[in-house]
Amino acid sequence: MSIHSFQTTVKTSIRNFSSCQALLRGIGSLDDQSPYETQKSTSKLKLHVHQRTHESSRIGIIGVPFHKGQSSSGVEEAPSALREFGMVKQMISIGHNVKDFGDIICENIGERNDVPDKIRSLPDLACASHALSSKVQDVMREHRKVLTIGGDHSIALGSVDGHIQAKNGEICLLWVDAHADLNTADTSDTGHMHGMPVSLLVKELADYWPYLPGLDWQKPTMSIKNLAYIGLRSVDHYERLIIEKYGVSAYGMEDIEKYGIHAVTTLALERINPTGTKSLHVSFDIDALDTLEAPCTGTSVRGGMTLREGVHIMEIAHRTGWLGAVDMVEINPRLGNILQVKTTLEAATHIIKAAFGFSRSGHVPQHIEKLPGYYAPILIEDKIVKREEPVAVPPLLKES
């Protein structure tokens, strides 16, 4: 390598390092693009994310076997599939108080003549979303965090709305997805509602929607400034326009590759909750992960996140202390063989456990301080000998 080439390499490395430092401080930008401009944050997030303490949580689980927000049947089987996979037992095993609130069943409502032609299955979605919003509020009144299992991503309209109502509007939303789900009735090419829930939730886009019969109960009150995306890699033209127009915090795979998942997640959370006073809702579409990590989804896009990256997002979300609700959506057990289904359910379970405090470093068992098998020497006839039987102590709790 020539001296000139070496100097160029060093300068590039220094420039990249400085850019990453600015990103972490929240005072720079990602490639100086307007959607990524940042301001210095007053958040205490960085103090939280280094904590490794595990506290048991009160968690309420809601299943939403709803598939009419898109065209592929099978996603309605995901809630029962995850339960049968042992997800609930694994959460209980790490010390959580888990209550299963059952499923929201609201389909085959029938069509209405006053629904805009561009929207599919609105009556069914309106019914399911309203029921889910009410159920989320019920769960939160019991001082529980909420885990909602879809179903397709249209169900987030109900889960996020319920969170907003329960916290009097004081929430922030992290949307982990390959897609922005930010279309309106007039920008969507398909009319599928799983590509529109975010635009229905943010107040800045309220005037871009026609009247939607059955959704009179849903009033968008969340600011788009309290929304961030991680994992984007398939964004429609009008969605990109909205992101640019409103300066949405939107981080794609190229940002993860350049800066790393820790820096991107930290910045995203600081931007949507700079004071650290809002309740955090993480809506996680399994297609955010690469197809190799989660093959059973109907909306897969190559080049996604690793399972490690998905888990780390949720670890950081947990450590903030802000987390109030999590969605896990778009798992389709019909789209794959037995091994692929197992791989996808396993990935989803890891994501969920991380959100509620499971540590890959392991956990100290609760209420136990001594190891079993303590063969302390004793004095017998003036001789110190080893015990033949261990001192009785409580056994270590089994960890999953």
Under the banding of pLDDT at 50, 70 and 90, the label for residue 72 is confident
Q: What's the token pair of residue 45? A: 């997030």
Q: Which of the four pLDDT bands, split at 50, 70 and 90, describes residue 28?
A: very low
pLDDT at 24 over 90: no
∠ CA(32), CA(37), CA(39), 5° rounding? Answer: 130
DSSP structural state of residue 63: E
pLDDT-based confidence at residue 355 (cuts at 50, 70, 90): very high
| Local confidence band at 344 (pLDDT 50, 70, 90 cut-offs) | very high
What the chain holds in terms of domains, given with CATH numbers, is 36-355 (3.40.800.10), 374-400 (no CATH)
For the cut 60, the answer to whether the pLDDT of residue 2 exceeds it is: no
C-beta of residue 312 within 8 angstroms of C-beta of residue 48: no
* Average pLDDT rounded to a whole number, residues 4-8: 53
**5 vs 36, residue with greater confidence:** 5
CA distance 124 to 122: 5
Please give the residue that has the higher pLDDT: either 33 or 8: 8
Contact between 130 and 217 under an 8 Å Cβ cutoff? The reply is yes
In the predicted model, what is the mean pLDDT of residues 236-240? 96
The predicted structure's pLDDT at residue 153: 97
pLDDT number for residue 136: 99
| 305: β partners | 289
pLDDT value at residue 4:
55
pLDDT band (50, 70, 90) for residue 399: very low
C-alpha 85: how far from its chain's center? 19
18 or 99: which carries more pLDDT confidence? 99
- DSSP-based helix, strand, coil % in the chain, nearest 5: 40, 15, 45
| Range of weakest confidence among 4-8, 79-83, 307-311 | 4-8
User: What mean pLDDT comes out for the span 138-149?
Assistant: 98
User: Would you state the torsion angle of the CA atoms of residues 154, 156, 157, 158, taken in this order, to the nearest 10 degrees?
Assistant: 120
More confident residue, 230 or 191: 230
Q: Give the confidence band of 117 by pLDDT, cuts at 50, 70, 90.
A: low
Report which of residues 251 and 107 the model is more confident about. Answer: 251
pLDDT of residue 115: 62
* Mean pLDDT of the residues in the chain: 85
Burial of 160 (0-12, 13-18, 19+ CB in 10 A): buried
Question: Which is higher by pLDDT, 327 or 366?
Answer: 327
pLDDT at position 46: 54
> Are the CB atoms for 99 and 62 separated by under 8 Å?
no
What number is the average pLDDT over the span 109-133? 80
Residue 294 scores a pLDDT above 50: yes
| Angstrom distance (rounded) from CA 6 to CA 19 | 20
**Residue 361: what pLDDT?**
82
Looking at per-residue pLDDT, the higher value among 94 and 163 belongs to: 163
In whole angstroms, what is the distance from residue 175 CA to residue 290 CA? Answer: 16
Q: Is the pLDDT of residue 189 over 70?
A: yes
